[in-house]
Structure formats: structure tokens, C-alpha cells
Structure 1
């Protein structure tokens, strides 16, 4: 079955160029990219492999969504984190009960994992085709573009009251502060665990 694998990067790059909002392609670290691809056992022939092999990540829609490239830091067998959003939401590529790997989203407003029922390429294609406008419609506020655009890729926006609370639903009325993205993700996931514990 040998032969040269055709990279899917041209397809990804075409979708990036056609996106209805700004997309920044971060420069890859070639050694790290090769290591990531080896660890995952994939090639640049897939969209996931192309993003890992050819980028340090993608900052989509003024940096609202941060799609991970060769900077992917964890390689668990069961799932792989492929993106974060500026509010601390997480996207994992993980096997669903039907045995198919799909993108699952953990949102700061719902504090629960939701299977988006899309493979990685389908999901990223939808994202680059403009799906974020609709997906995040209830989590945006007037002037968010300039505010989010000024936030570094490893930082996020903490809102208080939080988006999962009744008082925090309207993000134009809450207080917003720039914090470590890793910390923000951790706070949301810990809150979900605590609330889940209260329910049972």
C-alpha cells in the first residue's frame, strides 16, 4: 500500500482563505509537528494531520476560537483536545458510543459535554465556512471583536456572573477580565464536577 501521502493542507488552506472572518495561521515547529504526528499515528493526509503538521494552530474569528496545531499538549488515547474558545470552552475529538470519533464540545454556558456529531474535517470545514456566528450567537456582546482580538492565544475572558448562571446569560452586562486560558478551562470543568455532585 506504499506511496506518497497527499497532504490535505491545500484543502485546509483553501477553506482558511475563503473564511468569512479573519483566520491567522500560526507558524509550526517542524520537530514538534513530526513528533505529534508520530504519537497520534496519523499523516498530513487527514485534515487533523494537516493542521498539526503545517501549523502551530489557527486563530479563527479574531481569535475567538483557537484550533490547536503542533502545539497540542496532550495525547490521551481516548480523546484529543483540538481547540479552545476564548470563554474557556473546549473541543475534544473523541470516540462516541457508536465507535466513531467525533468532535465533542464543553461549553461554559452549559457546563456539559455535547457530541456535535461531526468528524474533525467536517467540523473544521463548518467552522471555516462561518458556523461560529450561529454557534456562539448567545455568547457574544457588542464590540466583542476588538476585545477578543486583543487577547493573547494563551489567555481567555473570564465573565462574572458566569455564563451558566441566570444572571450571566447576557454577556454585555457582566464583568469581563482577561485570565490564563488553562485556568479558565479548569474553573469551568471543576464547577461542572461540583454541580454534578450536588445533583446526585
Structure 2
């Protein structure tokens, strides 16, 4: 078995420019998740699954999935493996990061589905490069359009299974200014499904 890559991940966590919390994980639950994906801890994804219930990045805005903890699902339970979609993270606004093949059939990359445009965007990064970027400060610029003054305290209060729903929604012209919209915490899975259902109704998916 190849050596675990957790040491590399832990180094990035320690050097992150914003808070990153490593959630505890149950060993049996993590092992089952790892077996379901048929990977080892020699990959960053495998190491995150075995060594953490998930990572709360930047005051909990980004929830990187691991072996599961409390209301935060593990990678397998959040994914559609039959369709080749491995969900690796969710964010507090109901966005999804999914590791999957692109339309050209090349090596899998991380794709993002966000509430601001309701479309899938290929980030053209493998899992390790994507997580490295997010732990190294990339979340700040990536999420800048979706943040409002004082978001840190509001996001920190949301549970692991909660996201922040806004009205008007971020994909509308009226909802672009997140400081001026109505915001409330709802179930994160409900929020993710709401964005996908809306995208289908609008013909974006």
C-alpha cells in the first residue's frame, strides 16, 4: 500500500490564510467510504476521507467532504458513483464541487455548480490541485462575488447540514448584492436540490 498523503494535506491546512477545521471521523465509517470509492490514502482524496470527517474551510463557508461527521455526509453518500460523479465539497450557498470527466472524456477534473449562474464550470484541476488551491487561499477570490459584510459570523452559526438561502436568489440581477437580500439558514441538501431544480426549469441543465 502506498504511503498516506495526509501529511501533505495537513501542511497545507496549517499554512492556510484562513481557519480550517478538521472534523473528527469514525474509523469504520471512513474505511467503508474508502472501499466504496476503491481508492487508497496514497491519494489526497483517500487521505482526507480516512483522516477527517470533513474540512471546514474559511469559517465553514466551504465544506470539503471526508469520511462524514454529524450532519455532513461522506463522499460516497453525497455522490452518484453510477454516473461517475464524485461530490467532493459543498459550500454554504448551496454550490457543489464534483470530480468527474469532462465532455471530451479526458482525465476527471473538479467541476463547480454555483448559485450565481446555475451552470457547471470545469475548473480544469484534479482533486489534489483543487484542494491545494482552496487550502492556499483560493477560496477568497473564488467566492468574492457571493459574500457580504459580516458573512463570517453568519456562516459560522450555520450547522453542518445547513446552507444560506437568499431572496432574491444570486442568479437574478436583483440578487447580486448579497448585503441587500433576505438571508436565512435552511437544509443544505434542500438548498443544493433547489438550485439544480431551478436550473432544470430554466433549461440550463
TM range (shorter): over 0.9
Aligned-partner Cα distance in 2 for 1:164–1:132? 19
From 78, 81, 97, the equivalent of 1:76 is: 81
Task: Structure 1: state its 5+ residue gaps.
Answer: none
Check the 8 A contact 1:39/1:75 in 2, yes or no.
no
From 98, 118, 127, the equivalent of 2:125 is: 118
Aligned-partner Cα distance in 2 for 1:14–1:117? 24
Aligned-partner Cα distance in 2 for 1:95–1:41? 17
Moved over 3 A (4+): none
Check the 8 A contact 1:59/1:67 in 2, yes or no.
yes
Aligned-partner Cα distance in 1 for 2:50–2:198? 34
Check the 8 A contact 1:40/1:75 in 2, yes or no.
no
Check the 8 A contact 1:37/1:49 in 2, yes or no.
yes
What residue is the counterpart of 1:99 in the other structure? 106
Larger Rg: 1
From 3, 6, 29, the equivalent of 2:3 is: 6
From 144, 155, 162, the equivalent of 1:155 is: 162
Matched, 1:188 2:180: no
Task: Structure 2: state its 5+ residue gaps.
Answer: 69-73
Aligned-partner Cα distance in 1 for 2:8–2:43? 10
Aligned-partner Cα distance in 2 for 1:75–1:193? 18
Structure-1-length-normalised TM-score: 0.95
What residue is the counterpart of 1:174 in the other structure? 181
**SS state at 1:123 partner:** helix
CA-CA distance at 1:99 after TM superposition: 2.1
Structure-2-length-normalised TM-score: 0.92
Question: Which is further off, 121-130 or 28-37?
Answer: 28-37
Number of corresponding residues? 195
What residue is the counterpart of 2:43 in the other structure? 46
Check the 8 A contact 1:92/1:104 in 2, yes or no.
yes
Matched, 1:33 2:30: yes
